[in-house]
Amino acid sequence: MLRIHLRGLILAGGFATRLRPLSCSKPKLLFPIVGMPLVESMARWLSSGGINQIILAVNHLSDKLKIEVGHHVAGVPVKFSVEETPLGTAGPIRLAANLLGRDDPFFVANGDIVSDIEIRHMLAVHEETNAEATIALVSVPDPSPYGSVLTDPNGKVKKFEEKSAVLSATSHVNAGVYVLSPGVIDSIPGGRSVSLEKEVFPKLVRNGRMQSWMHKGFWYDIGRVSEYVRANHELLEKQELKAAKPVASEDGGEILRPSYLGTRTHIGVGAKVGPLAILSDNVSVGDEAIVRNSIIFEETSIGEKATVEGSIIGERVVIGKRSRIGNGSIIAGQLTLPEGSILSPNSLILC
Ligand code: GDD
Ligand code: MG
């Protein structure tokens, strides 16, 4: 069926505690995924599936996100639905009822998903099975950090348990992407925080109204640092396979593939960048500096002869000349490390 309105609500009101200290100064939706802010990557994906209105469900601390996003992302109109107090994963859906409308099914996605889940296919399954909710599933090696799902052979959900030891025997987990019929909004209690996973889904399952759809493509929940890094590395390698031209430094440094250089990056003479160096826009790498296996957020500068290995450096950081950043370190955004700083492996430099 051709729909005029296909709306997608992104849950973006959490506090991203598992991404600290990087999330102190940057909302999760603005984290770069191979140089592209997550919100843009999600908007491109949703719009490729026909979604033509995005609603960002945020908390009252999200000024930065509002300023960055404005009224459109990747050509898709965006509206904000702002909570005064955190309403969980279901409460924001009820709060945004007027923006979601009463006529059509709509999509809901957790605000930390990078995937190519086929929106149109999911919607078709939702309509064919007359479900109230259709949930995308993915298969993962360790289901324990996710919502585990048991289905019957037709894909009808028989059991949903959030982060459960009991159901963890199944490798099929909630991908954090759903199609919901407008009736679901009425089943969400108002005025308090409500969990989709713990309150709304189990009820839909009991009523036999929850369908699943198995996703076979790529999927990451970047809400944990290890998964954030994995998403960047794997997507970088995927992009490199398709890349029309090799990454090149016009400034005299050496770039080892796979690597990604954003726009207006500067690589100094004799610098060595890569493999697995992901530099967002406006990053500068000083003469003879070394950056490998690291993710560098935008506008950060790495001083002459500094070495950064296996690390994540936040936005607008200044790393002084001849500093050494040991493997596994994370440096919060907007900090300055003086010349000659030595960070032992796995250092966390907080905001
Ligand atoms: N607006 C709003 N308000 N959003 C919220 C709130 C809130 O009070 N609390 C959390 N969120 C958002 C988060 O920002 C995130 O985008 C999404 O809801 C899910 O929260 P996470 O904290 O990332 O949950 P999770 O990763 O532990 O588990 C969820 O995602 C897994 C898949 O990635 C669950 O849905 C699991 O069942 C699922 O498997
Ligand atoms: Mg998550």
- Tell me the CATH number at 309: 2.160.10.10
**Domain tally, the chain:** 2
Show the DSSP H helices in 169-311 as ranges. 183-186, 201-206, 225-242
- Tens digits of residue pLDDT in 304-323: 999 999 999 999 999 999 99
In a domain, residue 113? The reply is yes
Alpha-carbon gap, residue 135 to 175, rounded angstroms: 8
Alpha-carbon gap, residue 53 to 7, rounded angstroms: 5
What are the angstrom distances between the C-alpha of 213 and each of 124, 158, 182, 195? Answer: 10, 13, 19, 21
Do 269 and 208 sit in the same domain of this protein?
Answer: no
User: Could you give the angle at the alpha carbon of 226 between the alpha carbons of 224 and 227, nearest 5°?
Assistant: 65
- Tell me the CATH number at 121: 3.90.550.10
Pocket test of ligand 1: the residue of 61, 89, 146 to mutate, having most ligand atoms within 8 Å of its CB, is: 89
Query: Among 132, 95, 119, which residue's Cα sits nearest to residue 8?
Result: 119
What are the angstrom distances between the C-alpha of 201 and each of 110, 116, 148, 170, 302? Answer: 15, 23, 12, 18, 48
- Between the CA of 109 and the centroid of ligand 1 the distance, in Å, is 9
Q: What is the pLDDT of residue 249?
A: 61
- Between the CA of 15 and the centroid of ligand 1 the distance, in Å, is 10
Structure tokens at 139: 């298969």
The residues near 279 (Cβ < 8 Å, ≥ 6 apart) are 35, 259, 260, 261, 262, 265, 273, 285, 291, 296
Residue at a domain's end among 186, 205, 224: 224
Query: 176 CB less than 6 Å from ligand 1?
Result: yes
Confidence of residue 14 (pLDDT cuts 50, 70, 90): confident
Do 199 and 75 sit in the same domain of this protein?
Answer: yes
Structure-token match 């290995």, residue found? 309
Maximum CA pair distance of the chain?
66
On the question of pLDDT at 163 being above 50, the answer is: yes
What average pLDDT does this structure show over 172-191? 96
- Between the CA of 122 and the centroid of ligand 2 the distance, in Å, is 20
Domain that holds residue 34: 7-224
Q: What is the pLDDT of residue 61?
A: 72
Cite the beta strand spans of 187-311 per DSSP E.
Answer: 210-214, 219-221, 254-255, 259-261, 266-267, 272-273, 277-279, 284-285, 290-292, 294-296, 301-302, 307-309
- Tens digits of residue pLDDT in 244-303: 445 556 667 899 999 999 999 999 999 999 999 999 999 999 999 999 999 999 999 999
In a domain, residue 238? The reply is no
Look up the pTM and report it. 0.95
Do 52 and 144 sit in the same domain of this protein?
Answer: yes
Do 217 and 278 sit in the same domain of this protein?
Answer: no
Confidence of residue 240 (pLDDT cuts 50, 70, 90): confident
Structure tokens at 53: 């209105």
Pocket test of ligand 1: the residue of 9, 10, 11 to mutate, having most ligand atoms within 8 Å of its CB, is: 11
Alpha-carbon gap, residue 191 to 193, rounded angstroms: 7
Q: What is the pLDDT of residue 244?
A: 45
Burial (CB < 10 A; 0-12, 13-18, 19+), residue 31, is buried
Do 274 and 200 sit in the same domain of this protein?
Answer: no
